[in-house]
Amino acid sequence: MPEAAPGVSIQVRVNGKLHPREVEPRKLLVEFIREDLELTGTHIGCDTTYCGACTVLMNGAAVKSCTVFAVQADGAEITTVEGLAKNGDLHPIQKAFGDCYGLQCGYCTPGLMISALQLLKDNPTPNREQIRKAIAGNTCRCTGYQNIFKAIENAATTMRSPSHAD
Amino acid sequence: MGSDGAGWVGKGLARKEDNRLLRGRGKFIDDIRLHDMLYLKFVRSPYAHARVTSLDTAAAEALPGVICTLTGAEIAHQTNPFIEIGPDPFARIAELVQVDYESLEVVVDGEEALKASVLLHEEAGTNRVWRGTFEYGDIEKAFREAAHIVRIDKMHFHRFSSTPLENNAVIGQWDAKDEHIYYWCNNSFPSFAMQFIAAHLGTPIDRIRVQTFDIGGSFGIKITSYPQMSVCALASKKAGGRPVKWIETRSEHNVSSAHGNERTFRDTRVALDKDGVIMAIDSRHIDDCGAYPRYEPLGCVIWAQVFPGVYRFRNARIDFSQAVTNKCPVGPNRGYSRMQHLWFLERVVDICAHQLGIPPDEMRLRNYIRPEEFPYTTPNGCVYDSGNYPKMLQVAKERIDWEDWKKKQAMARAEGRWLGIGIGTTLDSGTNNFGQSQIVNPHAPFSGNSQGANCKLDIYGEVVVAVGSCPQGQGHETTAAQVVADVLNIHPDMVTVRTGFDTERNVHTGASGTYASQFAVSGLSAVHGAARKLKSEMKQLAAFLLKTGEENLEFGMGQQGPQIRAKDTGSSVNYWQLANVVNVNSAVLPEELYELTLNCRYVWRAPFKVPDKEKKYGSLTLTYASQLHIAVVEIDRDTFIPHILEYVAVDDCGKVINPPIVEGQVYGATAHGIGAALMERCVYDAVGNMLTATFSDYTPITAVNIPNVRYAHMETPSPHSYNGAKGMGEGGAAPIHTISAALQDALFSSGIVVSDSFNNADTLYRAMVAKDIYQAGDLVKMEKRA
């Protein structure tokens, strides 16, 4: 084994849990999430910030974690797909993606749901065009997007209802 | 279907796969980390065509963390050297392998390759992979009697790839302890890959275990038997049996996995009668298969599954050649080798319609195979099972409000706007006959098609199903459960369907996998057969345990879950009791029931014969799903950007097992087609550099590019499948035909013939302003003889 580059100490809160870790300065946030934290729901699809399979929420903003260094996430709050469900219950976005057949192979789905989450936090009543723009950075090759549009519209309705606490 | 009666088939059941995928618990290959695992990296040639003159791996091997390197000299037929590195990603590793190249002349065009002085594979002596003439009927008579003859000089179908979001991935381990080779991979035709790998590595096939799990899309791209699978095993062997992981990068995928076939259509002659009915087509097609034939030359014949498309003409001659070029090898991509031919036919129909002054919808109605003609035997012996193309056209027109758009179009044209309405009719042929391979290679030991499934009551009475398919989002776990639930009259939630493929489940055949639009036919037929075998065993056991006749038994739900009840006595047994007496309490069984296992494997075989190799005649595919799309497209007169104003997709895949799953797949195929028609193409420069190696350059279609798609479906049940279903999913590239037709309709009056399947603002500008492409006067000639 080679000698590792000098590590940098970081603390990242992921899905509510604080993770103090030493990381190489060159390590990407997506590698940190997948390899160091073993949260493999966040995926890698293109390596060039196009496809959004690696999208996570960082301090409330959807970011492509393949284009952020882990050290840049020091002190940040991150939400990944694994953090969407609460006490085992699916988040309304997860439920809507399932109900509307908004996924097929499921590879892009975690990133898409995170982008949808940011959209619906910022804009509880998005129209179709706003939905399109919000997920323009997330490539899906299976669904043709139609059922994803429906899923996000469906989730928006659920999340506006008084019974949804979040 | 008979006694199957719970009615789950045909319902929009929620997908069983979704729970894990929505929670981020899908299991994709890169999510798997094994003890002591190593990582493999390939050193790629920077040249499209070159000879390696020297190679030095010493510097790379000296780098800490590098376990070993392997060169081409160490592996037969492996021309690219590659190295293996430790668990840390060393960006510089590839640079440390010193390679000297002698660059050679490059050929990037299929037609040029057939004329070129440079040979890409010297041992072959030619750049032509295969040539064959597919001729049926009486061509010369048809041309003699024709009222009109239309000639089209050249058309071209472009190269694109469906680029699944998950790249190719494999972990290979050559385990010296048990002399097995283990694969964890996302190959979607593993039973075929194994047959190559076992022979290539000189290993008994029983010593190779292949497993697939969740797969992040394939669209055909992942069915190729990639050599990287063998290489991972050899690298593992050299590294002392440690598992070796190779995760393809996006750029590697775009440059070297597989693209769809690129094809040029030359010297097309079409004979028509006075009413525009096509009497004969004569044409010369040159297919570009890239650097190496992989599954090729199978692509030289697979297009013949849809030889006449949806049309009635009986006389045709296609002179088909395939050439090698210095580009990525081709493979199945949203169907294999067919969309190119279907696009060609749709262009022919539109161009001829225009030449004869017949509206495109009317032209199609005059030429479609008629509903009453099914099952319809094509000139080359394929049997189209069912369909109703005129009705599809009617449904699509209603759905898009055709009359209203015709009025709007007239108004737009009066204002000088370029607005076109295009129709695309196409076929998705499913469940192929491997015997067609013998048309191009008479010695190929493949024919027919088959799929296996296993249905069992596990020791505790759980219903467990395993199939030889490896789905990539098609919902096989859900639809298989629907079928079994109907056979046993229980809820699909009570049926566990194993995910993915595993040789050690022992259900697969040599044709198992997920390809060629066939699960609803081959996969579900196998599942249905296995479930019925199990049911038959359960009946025998229940009759014994309940002391009644089999005719008195009723399958259904009881208070303790799934059960079998005796109608005469009212007593019942549950599934655990049945499994118990077979597996762990067998002394209560009478000897005549000893052969029951409650573990039932069934192999379904497609009823094919080997085609006539000389005449190139026979049934090449079992089912023919059909699609009809209509698009309204406006080309911006200032920017030349084409905008889709309206889009409808009508799909007929026979009896539908799960309607929302089918609808979702239609949307997916439609997006790929629209992307391919307007955004996605593989571009090479003159020396063979691929200019679209990243997604940023290739630009897969996104949510802002896709129009809202109206969907409608029809059901003409197939007489060729037990359930009336047809394979579906690829969509026959309908949007490519449809958008070409709509652009054509927008521009016909300008003397333009859309002769390429890829269009964007650049091609439209060149056609309309620079006038260096698409000029009708150069491309189309019409001879009126009546």
Question: Nearest residue on chain B to A44, judged by CA atoms?
Answer: B166
**Residue A99 shares a structural domain with residue A143:** yes
Phi-psi category of residue B381: left, alpha or beta, with phi > 0 → left and psi -120 to 50 → alpha? left
Handedness of CA B483, B485, B488, B493 (dihedral sign): positive
A166 within domain boundaries: no
Do residues B267 and B284 make contact, with C-beta atoms less than 8 angstroms apart? yes
Inter-chain CB proximity A108 and B165 less than 8 Å? yes
pLDDT at position A5 is 66
Closest partner residue to A98 (CB to CB) among B18, B215, B671 is B18
CA distance B215 to chain A (A): 7
Question: How crowded is residue B722: how many other Cβ atoms within 10 Å of its Cβ?
Answer: 16
**Residue A79 shares a structural domain with residue A101:** no
Binned at pLDDT 50, 70 and 90, residue B743 comes out as very high
Tell me the CATH number at A156.
1.10.150.120
Query: What gap in Å lies between CA B718 and CA B738, rounded to an integer?
Result: 25
Question: Nearest residue on chain A to B62, judged by CA atoms?
Answer: A2
Query: What gap in Å lies between CA B482 and CA B13, rounded to an integer?
Result: 8
Residue A83 Cα to chain centre, angstroms: 9
A1 within domain boundaries: no
B593's tokens: 């029931």
Q: What is the mean pLDDT of chain B?
A: 94
Number of domains in chain A: 2
Question: How crowded is residue B87: how many other Cβ atoms within 10 Å of its Cβ?
Answer: 15
**Residue A79 shares a structural domain with residue A99:** no
Inter-chain CB proximity A41 and B671 less than 8 Å? no
pLDDT tens digits, one per residue of B118-167: 999 998 999 999 999 999 999 999 999 999 999 999 999 999 999 999 99
CA distance A160 to chain B (A): 21
**Residue A16 shares a structural domain with residue A51:** yes
User: Residue B80: is its pLDDT beyond 50?
Assistant: no
**Residue A99 shares a structural domain with residue A69:** no
CATH topology of domain B18-27+450-605: Aldehyde Oxidoreductase; domain 4 (3.30.365)
**Residue A68 shares a structural domain with residue A102:** no
**Residue A27 shares a structural domain with residue A78:** yes
pTM given for the model: 0.96
B229's tokens: 């699978």
Matching CATH topology for B18-27+450-605 and B129-161+258-435+613-784? yes
According to DSSP, the β-strands at B553-558 and B561-566 are antiparallel
**Residue A77 shares a structural domain with residue A100:** no
Binned at pLDDT 50, 70 and 90, residue A3 comes out as low
A138's tokens: 């997330």
Query: What gap in Å lies between CA A12 and CA A19, rounded to an integer?
Result: 5
Inter-chain CB proximity A149 and B669 less than 8 Å? no
Residue with tokens 């060149």: B766
Inter-chain CB proximity A106 and B21 less than 8 Å? yes
B32-103+168-247 sits in which CATH class?
A: alpha beta
Last residue of a domain, one of A83, A101, A117: A83
Q: Give B141's contacts (C-beta < 8 A, 6+ positions apart).
A: B315
pLDDT at position B76 is 53
Q: Which of A80, A97, A112, A141 to mutate to test the interface with B (most CBs of B within 10 A)?
A: A141
Residue with tokens 């070029």: B325
Query: What gap in Å lies between CA B642 and CA B119, rounded to an integer?
Result: 40
Q: Which residue has the higher pLDDT, B749 or B334?
A: B334
Inter-chain CB proximity B473 and A80 less than 8 Å? no
Q: Report the DSSP beta bridge partners of residue B497.
A: B465
Tell me the CATH number at A27.
3.10.20.30
Residue B270 Cα to chain centre, angstroms: 30
Query: What gap in Å lies between CA B108 and CA B315, rounded to an integer?
Result: 33
Specify the 3-state DSSP secondary structure of B779. Answer: helix
Indicate the DSSP class of residue B725: B
Domain with residues B129-161+258-435+613-784, CATH architecture: 2-Layer Sandwich (3.30)
A144 within domain boundaries: yes
Last residue of a domain, one of A31, A58, A83: A83
Phi-psi category of residue B551: left, alpha or beta, with phi > 0 → left and psi -120 to 50 → alpha? alpha
Find the distance separating the first CA and the last CA of chain B, reported in whole Å. Answer: 54
pLDDT at position B41 is 93
Residues of B within 8 A of A47 (CB-CB) are: 249-251, 694
**Residue A78 shares a structural domain with residue A102:** no
Phi (first) and psi of residue B188, to 5 degrees: -105, 10
**Residue A59 shares a structural domain with residue A99:** no
A54's tokens: 């690696």
Q: Which of B66, B92, B702 to mutate to test the interface with A (most CBs of A within 10 A)?
A: B702
User: Residue B396: is its pLDDT beyond 70?
Assistant: yes
Closest partner residue to A106 (CB to CB) among B214, B704, B711 is B214
pLDDT tens digits, one per residue of B479-531: 999 999 999 999 999 999 998 999 999 999 999 999 999 999 999 999 999 99
Residues of B within 8 A of A90 (CB-CB) are: 22-23
**Residue A61 shares a structural domain with residue A121:** no
Residues of A within 8 A of B470 (CB-CB) are: none
**Taking every pair of C-alpha atoms in chain A, what is the biggest distance, in angstroms?**
56
Inter-chain CB proximity B250 and A85 less than 8 Å? no
Find the distance separating the first CA and the last CA of chain A, reported in whole Å. Answer: 46
A165 within domain boundaries: no
Binned at pLDDT 50, 70 and 90, residue B5 comes out as low
**Residue A121 shares a structural domain with residue A155:** yes
Query: What gap in Å lies between CA A82 and CA A8, rounded to an integer?
Result: 25
Which residue range(s) make up the domain with A136?
92-160
Would you list the domain boundaries of chain B? 18-27+450-605, 32-103+168-247, 129-161+258-435+613-784
Q: Which of B19, B23, B186, B629 to mutate to test the interface with A (most CBs of A within 10 A)?
A: B23
User: Residue B81: is its pLDDT beyond 70?
Assistant: no
pLDDT tens digits, one per residue of B13-72: 999 999 999 999 999 999 999 999 999 999 988 999 999 899 899 999 999 999 999 887
Inter-chain CB proximity A142 and B668 less than 8 Å? yes
B325's tokens: 């070029």
Inter-chain CB proximity B24 and A80 less than 8 Å? yes
Specify the 3-state DSSP secondary structure of B355. Answer: helix
User: Residue B86: is its pLDDT beyond 50?
Assistant: no
- Cis link prior to B719 (omega < 30° from 0)? no
Phi (first) and psi of residue A88, to 5 degrees: 85, -15
Inter-chain CB proximity B671 and A143 less than 8 Å? yes
pLDDT tens digits, one per residue of A67-123: 999 999 999 999 999 999 999 999 999 999 999 999 999 999 999 999 999 999 999
Number of H helices, E strands in chain B: 22, 28
